[in-house]
Structure 1
Amino acid sequence: MTEFQSDLLRSLSARGYIHQVTDPAALDALATKQIIPGYIGFDATAPSLHVGNLVSVMLLRRLQQAGHKPIVVMGGGTTKIGDPSGKDEARKLLDNDGINANIAQIRRIFERLLKFGDGPTDAIMVNNADWLDRLEYIPFLRDVGRHFTINRMLTFDSVKLRLEREQPLTFLEFNYMILQAYDFLELSRRVGCRLQLGGSDQWGNIVNGIELGRRIDGADLFGVTTPLITKSDGSKMGKSVSGAVWLHEDQLPHFDYWQFWRNTDDRDVGKFLRLFTDVSLDEIARLEALEGAEINHAKVVLATEATRLVRGGEAALAAQTTAEQTFAGGGAGESLPRLRIDEGQIGIVQALTVLGFAGSNGEARRKIAEGAVRLNDIPIKDERYEIILDQDAPVKISLGKKRHGLLERG
């Protein structure tokens, strides 16, 4: 492991964030001398980010913790095009109203994890539509487009993979990498940004921006990427059995978010504590050394601390308390996801799908046939079972040992 001198790169390295760095010695030296403004871009394709985005959000948090300035770039402009990285097809395009509404919602996440303000290390949020929407096509092609070759652009993974799979790649999407590079140039001019951070799939785009800044302005810019965050079973971070793990409570209840982290594989506990919590490295070393049933304590710490950062202390405590009541005491905690039913009756298949425990009626039926579904801890194996609800007593519905919800009469 490289011995860095700056708090920034030492912290990123020790916690497992570093995959690649452009000119690490120069960046390390700069970080010991001055405050470095650094940015990550987030396209506003949904009203919430998800766990797959969280490593990038945490990168900005680490940047600020090390005494530097985070810049959150919302892709009000680039969202209108779509990043082809990791995609097999073009994504649905949103209008300005939809994009702006998503940005307003996403900002709430960053306000929990970063300190915003006017100070030298306070975070700022900018929208790349402020400059991209004003570009004139011919001057942009002449001044910026001439620095990019089709030959090189075709070697980027985001382009190669789509072409190898014979999936259409529109000229609109092909422009994305040029616009992202231009973002870096604009940010260096507007706010003195020197560093772009991102996932490993963004390496080519980041290098493009660094080279564009050098060629046009003679700017000395840097890039850092994180490794692809995977689980020990090889699956990509950010997905659960029932879909994306959203950071916003509007899209995913607190308890489900807490439970996602509590279900972490034993082998991943140390890695995720380093990446997704502020727990000290010494304490993480102690926790990940636990064996047998004691590792469950480390998982509770991971779930509670990860939830505290993104959802707040009250949400984390409520989710932990609910888990203790549900699993240890056999009760039904207050923070379990709830479904109110006005009619007082609902089929068990519909209940599973509406709660999000199953992605389809077919999946719900399979789970019932497997004996994985219980009502008030009693197994139910009849897919035609109708749940009758009393006015006063909610019914606890469970899928397996780790997913629980409450059905209540409205």
Structure 2
Amino acid sequence: MFLLQISLAIDCYELKSDLPNITINDTNIDVNIKSHSIIDVIQELVFEYAETFYKVRIPDISFKSGNMLFEINDAKVSDLLIQNVSGMVADQDIFVSINQLFAQIKFEYVFRQQVYPYGSGTGAGIMDLIFDVKAVASAKLSVQCKDFFEIEKFVPQLFIDKFSLQLPDANPFLQAMIMIVTKMFKQVANEMLSGVLQDLSLIMNQNMFKMQPLNFVDPSFATDKRYVNFQLGEKLNLKMTGQVCKFDKTKQRCDGLQKLQELQVPLNRLNDPLSFSISIQALQSVITQINNQSIYTLNMTLNSVVNTGIIATYQTQNGGACSLLINCYAKVVKRSYDNIYDAVCMKIAKVLSGEIEESEINKINELFSQYYNSIYSFGGHTAQNQIVVYLAQHWVQIGMKLLNNGSVDIE
């Protein structure tokens, strides 16, 4: 076997803050993805992360075919086409099938005869493959790196259906041996790609562990997305702190996180493929940071949740007091192919008492559309036809549907 045998040192990103040690009691965002929807999300992720294979370095390989010794150097995936992704969730395992993938591997080679007349040569080659991948995987809250989840198990199998080899620079002797050589190269290609797949979970974990556990609206306005719970069963449940903080890139520190009141996460959840609950405390942290970062003077307090929205008190720019009804809505924001999140925005829906200028309402709603809590939920869903439910006192729930037929719904 020509497995990559990568040994990766664990390098965990640790967020510096006033709240370094978090537990499930610090939950202010609760995300639920139905098990049958997880496969749809995985399908989106497979397409999104396909370009990762172009960056994977395949180790140089030496092997024998008859009396000839081959060395393959600088091998890389130059083309990859993914069409069919399917799967299922059973207990805590995810089973994934990716059928009829097409891959092209370009490489340099050296060959030497080990018997008389001791011929040798060099050249460039191309391998074209159509193959299937079957894999079983599971994930959990990481023990190695707190505040992250990790891929715990990843067992892939690869089956090559069709294979072709091109050696356009080969000398006449090697061309005469092409059928024998092709059979050996097919075995090598199988083991090369199996090695890449085998170490994919290690690479993905290491990449995740290095990422900042934050979603950014701008370089300083960020939502803390450290995980305090990760459970996979009939649904995927993620719990996060969800507060907004001020990020200092130089110090790698997020200021403004607080020990908040412990709230009971709602037991009743929406029946949508993706749903999440966000607390009034997490929403209030948006207002706090708008003030702390001198974006705008926003003297607003979110008091309680009623059936129609959130009751807030507000001191206007003229010093008057009024009572407002705040509504929430979600939008999908895509910063890059691997940075897709849901923005939970607020807006003033109604003035309940007191007076406030229409221009001031418009200014605040514009701010709320730009500064918000952001929730990472892997993408693959749409903000269209969303459901928003206001639960007594502390929580807002939002339900979202999956994308259909490759449609796009992003900001």
Classify the TM-score, shorter chain: under 0.3
TM-score scaled by length of structure 2: 0.21
Task: Indicate the structure with greater helix content.
Answer: 1
Query: Radius of gyration: which is bigger?
Result: 2
Higher relative contact order (CA 8 A, sep 6+): 2
